[in-house]
Amino acid sequence: MSISPTQIQLIQPDDWHLHIRDGDVMRNVLADVAKQFARAIIMPNLKPPVTTAELAKAYRLRIESQLQSLGVNGFTPMMTLYLTDNTSAVEVRKAKAEGVVAFKLYPAGATTNSDAGVSDLKHCFAVIEAMQKEGMPLLVHGEVTNPEVDIFDREKVFIDRVLEPLRKDFPELKIVFEHITTMQAAHYVRDASACNKNTLAATITPQHLLMNRNAIFVGGIHPHNYCLPVLKREEHRIALLAAATSGNPRFFLGTDSAPHAKGLKENACGCAGCYSTFNALGLYAEAFESVGKLNRLEGFASFFGPDFYALPRNSKIVTLHKQAQAIPCELPFGESTIVPLRFGETIAWSLA
């Protein structure tokens, strides 16, 4: 990694948690993704969800067709399957043979297009045992959905009620605690027992490193800063920033960039999700620079994810310039438009 006051050179990163949707809108998202990342783990929460190896293959082919039409080479989509109460152990073996890299756990009703998610993890013990045997990671949306639990406490409660028992029942299962948002989650992953040091990791988004929950509410409702898990208090943002910039290999980049058309965000019942793909690397650089830790960015963005997934690190070098970039207020999104994170603002770092 090379750092100067005006330039950062680093190994090209990957995005270990990304939504690209499907159909015409996917084309616009892929154009933004491929400019920055060499690979990305593609989330399976479509309508209908990607629940089988056959559906994952078909989705990958649609992505590859769009990449080809864009003239993009060198970007690899990594497919996942949506875990349900009815997923079978046989599907794990089929998925591995098809090159699927992980299964995704959405507690039913936790986020966008999660209605088909898991109602009770006990229904999935046979398939999780098969995943553990095959070395297939489980990516978890770490929130409980019980109505009596405050929305700001869902992640903290998930650790005690779901994650810790799951790790005790399946100690060799590789788990990624995705888009963590709280001090409790950061400390839990940081302090995981030594025997599990290679089986637990976490991704962190740019919005949770740069914003607290005031960004949603101060001066009126700001729907484009609303995501799930929701932004938390400032003390949690500080803890996440400390984790991301610590050099601990359990923490790595995952944007959870979740595109929705402008009209679906600016709505009486607006969708959850921030679109950070347009300028993700610049946002992460801003976060790391804010605490004087730009020298830790390459590990977080480029090394720790591939290492956890036992994949080779990339070799291509990308360059960020400290050159002010104005973020557009809207971008093309199929026949509609999308509003990127930090729209209308100027950020310091931009990709060459």
- Active site includes 32? no
Burial label for 106, CB within 10 Å (0-12, 13-18, 19+), is buried
CA angle 257, 208, 172 (to 5 degrees): 80
Q: Identify which of 44, 147, 52, 58 has the alpha carbon closest to the alpha carbon of residue 105.
A: 44
- Candidates 269, 218, 255, 267; CA nearest to 340 is 255
Q: Is the peptide bond before 229 cis (omega within 30 degrees of 0)?
A: yes
Catalytic, out of 14, 15, 32, 256: 256
Question: Count of CB atoms within 10 A of residue 187's CB?
Answer: 14
Phi/psi of residue 338, each to 5°?
A: -130, 150
Provide CB contacts within 8 A for 130, sequence distance 6+. 89, 92, 93, 136
What's the distance, CA 79 to chain centroid?
13
Q: Which residues contact 133 (CB under 8 A, 6 or more apart)?
A: none
Q: In sequence order, what are the beta bridge partners of 104?
A: 82, 139
Q: Assign residue 93 a region: left if phi > 0, alpha if psi is -120 to 50, beta otherwise? A: alpha
Q: Quote the CA–CA distance of 182 and 162 in Å, as a whole number.
A: 16
138-167 as b/e, with b when 16 or more CB fall inside 10 Å? bbbbbbbbeeebeebebbbbbbeebbeebb
Q: Round to whole Å and give the CA distance between 156 and 282.
A: 29
Residues that are catalytic? 256
